[in-house]
Structure 1
Amino acid sequence: MSKYKGVIVGSALFILLSFVFGFHYVKSEIIKEKVASFKLLAISVTTESVKEDVWNEHLNVIGNIHANQSVDVKSQMSGQIKEVLFKSGQFVKKGDVLIKLDDALLKASYKSQLAKVELARTELKRNRKLLKNHSVSQNSVDKLAAQFNAESAKLEYISTQVEYMKVKAPFSGHVGIRKVDVGDFINSSTAIVDLEDSSQQYVDFSISELYLHSVQVGQDLQFKSDAANDAEYHATITAIEPSSDRNTHNIELRAVTTESVPLESGMYVDATLTTSDSNTVISVPSVAISYTLSGDTVFVLDTSTKQVSANSVSASSTSTSSYSQDSEKSETPFYEYKVVQRTVEIGPKQGGYVGVLSGLKEGDVVVTSNQHQLKNGGLVLVNNQRPLVTHTQPSK
């Protein structure tokens, strides 16, 4: 009996082992078959064809607004203020009297000097008559004439001082907030009020001397300010400083505004100067560029792998539900492509676009969305029914 039991146990063990190994073999074959037939769903993306453009170079600078004329009004004479004849913020005309100083002492000096002039004139007139009768010498008459001229000059000097006791506007414009009051004693260094003539405005800015060859009188300057809600204004370069600053090696430029600008003198603006230099670049939306430490890259469609997607709807739904809704409504088929990742050299930037200097050619189609889900050689489903909204293509 023991012999038959051994045979039975051995047979049972053989059958069990055969079943186990057979199960694992069939399982591995099924897995291999499934893996071989498995295909990753294509990633839904948007694309844009790139083209070659000629871009003018731009310089971004900080400028500040200047009025046509601006001055701190001051007196040429010292004295106590007797009258203030303007209001803060008022528009004044050239020659309007702004303040009057106490001129009582000068007027008294004027009267005294006037008497001396009259006396000198009388003496001169009398001696000229006597000269005709040879009662006085020519030398005496000449001395009296010189004395009369000297006294007259003193009178004119005092008269000018009296006139200077009235501080007048040197040009037409708006005054600011007055800094003096009646009774204040002022001198030639005392600021009375700020006077601005904003009939014409300028933008002053500076550039590195390295860019001197790129600028010239007549070029356009675009500028904007947060204070004006980033509205864009234009100015035309009218003057270039003939020398470079020896410390900063910058060159000062001035541009005159071509329109009324709601900005005050002294305010800063962000300005862009279009130079005379130009580059031939491949214009690419900035969102198509992937910036990495190892280099800047883009994903480009391999158009030779184009094929109609059999499951456009299901593929697009793995990316965004909005694409799935569009694909259900559209009768236009979606196409699948393989993508190639390329390293590119980045150049200038303008209006939401980047100029690529190398790595792309005109006619290449770049991916503009979902790049983080892609890999080199991966499949994409092109869905441009809801195209990427980018900035306006930059002007040449």
Structure 2
Amino acid sequence: MRRRSRLIFGFGIVALAASGLYAIHAWHASSPIIQNVPVTVTATIVRQVSWQSELHFVGTLRAHWGTALSFQTDGLVSRIHFHSGQRVEAGTILAQLQLNDEPGLFVKYTAQADLDLINLNRDKAQFEAHAVSRAIVDHDRLTLAADRAQRDAEDALIAMKSLKAPFSGRLGIRRVDPGQYLKAGTEVVTLQAIDPIYADFFVPQRFSEFVHVGAIVAVSIDSASGHVFHGRVTATTPTIDAASRTLMVRATLPNADERLLPGGFASVDLAYEGPRSIIVIPQAALIYHPYGNTVFVVTYDQPGRGVVRERLVVTGEARGDLIAISSGLRAGEAIVSAGQMKLRDKAVVMTSDVGQPGEDAAPSVPEE
């Protein structure tokens, strides 16, 4: 009985080994067929384009003219002549404080000044006739000057109770109401002139030699994704800041549509040299490894069909969807830009589309 069990067990082991050898032989026999099945991918032609040399900085947008308007004296708001967000011209009266005795005092000192002038002219004639002394004429002259000064002071006080736009621009949100008592310096409304607009940014000392008035800048903001605003450097500070070792730079940009708003964050690209020729590919074509980045290069043996080889490349600056290749590729070569995760070295591929990366390195916005 025991001998019989051993024989059955031995036959089972032999059968299992035979099945394993048959499976391995079948896999080896079929693998060349699987390897030769073409994989459908998307290919892109490597291009040589012209890129402008740029330095990248973070800046802040600032209005050409901008201020918070307020009265210079205390008083009760009597009239408001504007609406929030309204465009106004320079000199427009925006609000007024209540006038008390200022108009009456102005009339009083004006009348006194007129009377002083009459007395001065009369006493001058009397002085020429030797009827009065020079002291009388001098007294009349000084009295006239004093009353005119009082009149001008009252006129200035009346003017201080009228708030005028110092320049043309767009008003902000109204902060006060009629009948409200204001202390001097209380903000009434903001006024901004933002065409053109400034972009202020700081350049590290090591790059300061590349900055000069007239240099071209490209500004982008989060709220206008994909749009670039162009301008020029118009001013720099004459010294390097001792604390940060940076140079403050101001660029001026046209802003007729007012898409750029003061106080906003801005990404600033400063062109510092002439354009340079560079090899670019889509970033999606790269395969990232711990030892470096690779791409699959397609060698065609017939139209739309070829063999891929994985090649190590050295990458450079990235702009939007494109990335520069320092070495490893030549212009005109075809690379796999989509579907490369299905590939291995020497795989046979069918390319469904052969495209070319655009010269504009504008990032695409993914659909949510």
Corresponding residue to 1:345 among 302, 311, 314: 314
Aligned to 1:107, what secondary structure does the other structure show?
helix
Rounded to whole Å, the distance in 1 between the matches of 2:24 and 2:169 is 89
Rounded to whole Å, the distance in 2 between the matches of 1:288 and 1:354 is 10
Q: 1:152 to 1:349 in 2, by over 3 A?
A: same
Q: 1:334-363 CA deviation, whole Å, 9 max, x = no partner?
A: 33x251432x22111234221111233344
Q: Which residue of 1 aligns with 2:92?
A: 96
Corresponding residue to 2:273 among 271, 276, 286: 276
Please say if residues 233 and 249 of structure 2, whose CA atoms lie closer than 8 Å, have aligned partners that are also in contact.
no
TM-score (norm 1): 0.72
Please say if residues 298 and 366 of structure 1, whose CA atoms lie closer than 8 Å, have aligned partners that are also in contact.
yes
Rounded to whole Å, the distance in 1 between the matches of 2:226 and 2:111 is 66
How far is the alpha carbon of 1:238 from its aligned partner? 4.4
Q: Which residue of 1 aligns with 2:262?
A: 265
Q: 1:52 to 1:142 in 2, by over 3 A?
A: same
Q: Which residue of 1 aligns with 2:8?
A: none
Matches within 5 A, 1:322-341: 334-335=305-306, 337=307, 339-341=309-311
Rounded to whole Å, the distance in 2 between the matches of 1:31 and 1:102 is 102
Comparing 175-184 with 268-277, greater Cα deviation is found at 268-277
Give the aligned residue type for 1:156: D
Rounded to whole Å, the distance in 1 between the matches of 2:255 and 2:95 is 36
* Residues 1:212 and 2:212 aligned together: no
Q: 1:187 to 1:32 in 2, by over 3 A?
A: closer
TM-score (norm 2): 0.77
The total of aligned residue pairs comes to 344
Give the aligned residue type for 2:311: Q
How far is the alpha carbon of 1:204 from its aligned partner? 0.9
Q: Which runs of 5+ in 2 are unaligned?
A: 1-13, 362-368
Give the aligned residue type for 1:289: L
Please say if residues 82 and 102 of structure 1, whose CA atoms lie closer than 8 Å, have aligned partners that are also in contact.
yes
Rounded to whole Å, the distance in 1 between the matches of 2:150 and 2:286 is 81
Give the aligned residue type for 1:334: R
Q: 1:110 to 1:292 in 2, by over 3 A?
A: same
Please say if residues 216 and 237 of structure 1, whose CA atoms lie closer than 8 Å, have aligned partners that are also in contact.
no
Q: Which residue of 2 aligns with 1:57?
A: 53
Q: 1:74 to 1:267 in 2, by over 3 A?
A: same
Q: Which residue of 1 aligns with 2:337?
A: 368
Q: Which residue of 2 aligns with 1:354?
A: 323
* Residues 1:251 and 2:244 aligned together: no
Rounded to whole Å, the distance in 2 between the matches of 1:109 and 1:360 is 87
Q: Which runs of 5+ in 1 are unaligned?
A: 1-19, 309-331
Percent identical: 23
Q: Which residue of 1 aligns with 2:284?
A: 287
Give the aligned residue type for 2:309: V
Q: Which residue of 2 aligns with 1:202?
A: 197
Q: Which residue of 2 aligns with 1:232?
A: 227
Q: 1:28 to 1:67 in 2, by over 3 A?
A: closer
Give the aligned residue type for 2:162: K
Q: Which residue of 2 aligns with 1:313?
A: none
How far is the alpha carbon of 1:189 from its aligned partner? 1.0
Give the aligned residue type for 1:350: R
C-alpha RMSD of the superposition: 3.7
Please say if residues 81 and 185 of structure 1, whose CA atoms lie closer than 8 Å, have aligned partners that are also in contact.
yes
Comparing 118-127 with 287-296, greater Cα deviation is found at 118-127
Rounded to whole Å, the distance in 1 between the matches of 2:74 and 2:287 is 70
Aligned to 1:283, what secondary structure does the other structure show?
strand
Q: Which residue of 2 aligns with 1:8?
A: none
Q: 1:33 to 1:116 in 2, by over 3 A?
A: closer
Q: 1:56-76 CA deviation, whole Å, 9 max, x = no partner?
A: 233444444444432222223
Aligned to 1:77, what secondary structure does the other structure show?
coil
How far is the alpha carbon of 1:226 from its aligned partner? 4.4
* Residues 1:79 and 2:75 aligned together: yes
Runs of 4+ with >6 A deviation: 27-34
Q: Which residue of 1 aligns with 2:366?
A: none
Matches within 5 A, 1:65-214: 65-198=61-194, 200-209=195-204, 210-214=206-210
Rounded to whole Å, the distance in 2 between the matches of 1:127 and 1:240 is 60
Q: 1:130 to 1:262 in 2, by over 3 A?
A: same
